[in-house]
Structure 1
Amino acid sequence: MRIIVDDIQKKEWRAHWPVVVAAMAGLAASHVHFYSMGVMVTSLEKEFGWSRTQITSGLFIIAMIGFPLSPLVGTAVDRFGSRRIALFGMSIYSLAVVSLSFAQQSYVVWWLLWAFVAIGYLLLSPTIWVTAISRLFDASRGVAIAVTLSANGLISFGAPLLTLLLVQNFGWRAAYAILGVLAGAIAFPLLYFFFSSGRDGDAVRRTSAVVPRTYARAGFRFPKDVNVGAFVRLAFAASVMAMVFTAVVVNLVPILTSSGLTVVSAAAVAGIVGAMQVTGRLAGGFLLDRFNARYVGALVVLFPIASSLIFIGFHGSAILCGVGVLLFGLAAGAELDAVSYLASRYFPAGNFGAVFGFVIGLALLGSGLGPIVASFIYDVTGSYRLMLWAVVPLCALSSLAFLTLGPYLRADERASV
């Protein structure tokens, strides 16, 4: 039986590997704004005299816009196909990143520019890539999703260094312009020539038919089509863990210094996160294709509990803090794999984009709230200990949500709606 499955997996990869490569390029390009932010902060402080909270509020704007609009993007994917949305989104996103180079002293202008980035980013959200991959891969779906999503971790290595070189040689305005152009110039051709999903042709035909009748069939009918219990559990786990991950990652260096490490040691240890995120993503994909994804998800979201207890209880130990960061990075990589994979097994194919868009929207909301909640706790208490203690019950509840999902939706049930 294993030999038959392995043969099917090989056939899937031989047929569709260019789609995975193109999706990786699109996903990586769509995170240029995020991984360049840390380098840009100092230059923007000097230019405009803004606080770091004001500068990084652009990321919160993305979360606030993404929360209500993600389901609409998912519905558009169901109706028009992943390919058309991705091509349009990459065009918008590239222009939006370039537009950041025109920022002025007005803080309102800064917000408006980031709202533009938010629109482009939403049109390149994980919903687009996961929907396409889920329709092309079945036996090796876990690995295919993991490889695609690993692009987020891979760009975390190169984007900050490239941004630093551009800022040092050309200034921050030119850096934003060059990054935007590069994102589009590299990703758009790959998406144009190689990116598609099994239903893009059907989507094109649906849009040329009579809209009221066909859209009613492919539209989003939440109460009838969706296992509400599975949706609530997945949405809860995705949003809570997104909040946990961003709260800790954004504040990881000060958390480690408060645990007794020097700034240099803390920065070095924090650098493990990116590598472990990629490792966790790929390892998670491998496990998802071989074991019940509920148990994989339930296990990996418990890792941050160990990390938090290490940060709280072992003062000054760089080795133990490194272990904590390692576990945290593995969880951050594998958790999104599990959510994406499980969504493809529980949500109906006809409305997958719309339903998964809701999950991604809630995850975006959680990721926007995480750093703010962590900063508020620090401002009130003077430390991150309360936040780290809060990680324990939040991760435990997320693990329980995965465990209680119930059996997968059968393939004929997913395809029939």
Structure 2
Amino acid sequence: MSSAAGWQELRGGWRLLVACAVGVGLSAIALPFYTIGPLTRPIEADLGWSRADIQLAILFSSGLGALTAPITGWMIDRWGARIVAIPSIFGVSLGLFIASTAHTVEVFYAGYALSAILGAGTNPVLWSRVVSGNFEKARGAALGLALVGTALVALLLPSFIVALVEIGDWRLALRAAALLPIIIALPLVYLWLHPDPSRSAGGSGASNLYGSTVGEALRNFRFWVLALSILLGYLAISGTLTNLVPALIDRGIEAQAAAAFAGAIGITMIPGRVLVGFIVDRIWAPGVAMVVLLLPALACLVLRDATDPVVIIVTCALLGLAAGAELDLLAFLTARYFGLAHYSKIYALAYAALATGSATAPFLFASVYDRTGSYDASFMVAAVFFAVAALLMPLLGRYPDLGKIENNRAG
């Protein structure tokens, strides 16, 4: 990218980036995901549920996020991002508040399910569409900056939840988390989420954007390579991150210290998102993705029996690098390989693979613990998933010339 033009884009759109960063950080996918780990042991102690039962809630949260993603993509194209986002923020809060009242697993799951359904418009499908449509010269950097909101939540939320549990109980902690979208995200989204109507979905200029149709994308092997890589990567990321705090506590580490170690993930997610975003504006993104995914594969092998604080921090940092990069890499690669004309729908379908991994892995990893009393096998499987996801990325090949494809189609 041209450095001057890219910086000018970033300076001109900083309010939009802040609104997207806060919106995605307090979304129906991020907020339930980063609360469930530090809440697992308190809920287990209070209600006697198994860890697998507790973490199955993410299946209802992220799993329904996967099912609603294509619908959300259609809604964004039909009505625009702002109209979809604002009521969805209330939906996230309502669902989590209902979950905080649960005395049975059915009510607990229902709360997470409602958060996913009513809050579907807060998920990355919306925020990445806004950024991809409003930034061109600095698209990778803008996506990294916008999606850094999930990194901040990963950094701050575990310690926040643990502190509130110690002050009150897990219900107080979850209710406090439920208020965050309304208190923080809603005002910023209302004030600053104003996408350029000539370049955003639903705008009058949308017909001038180049790109594949949904059918063309689904017939393209690159879509399926990307989706499979993202699925495997997020199976590894989600299973490891949600079970990290209870795994460390099982080794005799204090709850606050375990939450602080998990916070190292958030620390590296921030530079992971931002630096990878800047790099892919200049270097072939699939090659960058391969390197980013191979590092946490090594981290998972080390993390199986690590107790040394320095080793744990380093391995958590490598996990954070992958967790920080993969979401914005999906958004960037979707735009580069399939264009913006039908971006919301195509990204939503690829995002469904991500959400499926995010939904199923916490339960699967916790089930392995319930059966074996250890997370060792889960960390080994995560290492294999990371490695395969990394090796799939180069199969995407060179970037297509979307303008040329569009001209050939017109001709």
> Which of the five TM-score ranges fits, normalised by the shorter chain?
0.7 to 0.9
- In structure 2, what is the equivalent of residue 209 of structure 1? none
Amino acid at match of 2:20: A
314-323 vs 73-82, which moves further: 314-323
**2:259, 2:171 → 1: CA distance?**
27
Structure 1 unaligned runs (5+)?
207-213
**1:110, 1:164 → 2: CA distance?**
19
- In structure 2, what is the equivalent of residue 279 of structure 1? 271
Question: 1:327 aligned to 2:318?
Answer: yes
Alpha carbons 1:227, 1:346 under 8 Å: kept: no
Question: 1:153 aligned to 2:143?
Answer: no
Amino acid at match of 2:3: D
Question: 1:133 aligned to 2:131?
Answer: yes
Structure 2 unaligned runs (5+)?
none
- Deviation at residue 343 of structure 1 after TM alignment: 1.1
- In structure 1, what is the equivalent of residue 253 of structure 2? 263
Specify whether residues 53 and 165 from structure 1 end up closer, same or farther in structure 2 by C-alpha distance, changes over 3 A only.
Answer: same
| Deviation readout 1:107-156 (Å, 9 max, x if unpaired) | 32222222111113422111111110001111211111111111111123
- Deviation at residue 45 of structure 1 after TM alignment: 4.7
Between Structure 1 and Structure 2, whose CA radius of gyration is higher?
A: 1
Structure 2 length-normalised TM: 0.85
- In structure 1, what is the equivalent of residue 302 of structure 2? 310
- The structure 1 residue matched to 2:394, chosen from 375, 387, 403, is 403
What's the Cα RMSD here? Answer: 3.4
1:125-204 to structure 2, matched below 5 A, reads 125-164=123-162, 166=164, 173=171, 175-199=173-197
Identity of aligned residues (%): 27
Alpha carbons 1:83, 1:200 under 8 Å: kept: no
**1:47, 1:253 → 2: CA distance?**
18
- Deviation at residue 237 of structure 1 after TM alignment: 1.0
48-57 vs 281-290, which moves further: 48-57
Alpha carbons 2:6, 2:137 under 8 Å: kept: yes
Question: 1:230 aligned to 2:230?
Answer: no
**1:322, 1:172 → 2: CA distance?**
26
**1:151, 1:56 → 2: CA distance?**
23
1:3-402 to structure 2, matched below 5 A, reads 5-30=2-27, 31-41=30-40, 44-45=43-44, 48-101=47-100, 103-164=101-162, 166=164, 173=171, 175-199=173-197, 221-224=213-216, 228-253=220-245, 262-264=252-254, 269-311=261-303, 317-380=308-371, 383-402=374-393
Count of aligned residue pairs for this structure pair: 402
| Deviation readout 1:385-407 (Å, 9 max, x if unpaired) | 44333344433322222101122
Amino acid at match of 1:354: K
**1:130, 1:205 → 2: CA distance?**
16
| Deviation readout 1:233-254 (Å, 9 max, x if unpaired) | 1111111000011222233356
Amino acid at match of 1:62: S
Alpha carbons 1:225, 1:348 under 8 Å: kept: no
| Deviation readout 1:50-108 (Å, 9 max, x if unpaired) | 3343333221211321222211211222222222211121132233333334x243432
**1:362, 1:113 → 2: CA distance?**
23
- Deviation at residue 25 of structure 1 after TM alignment: 1.5
Structure 1 length-normalised TM: 0.84
Amino acid at match of 1:298: M
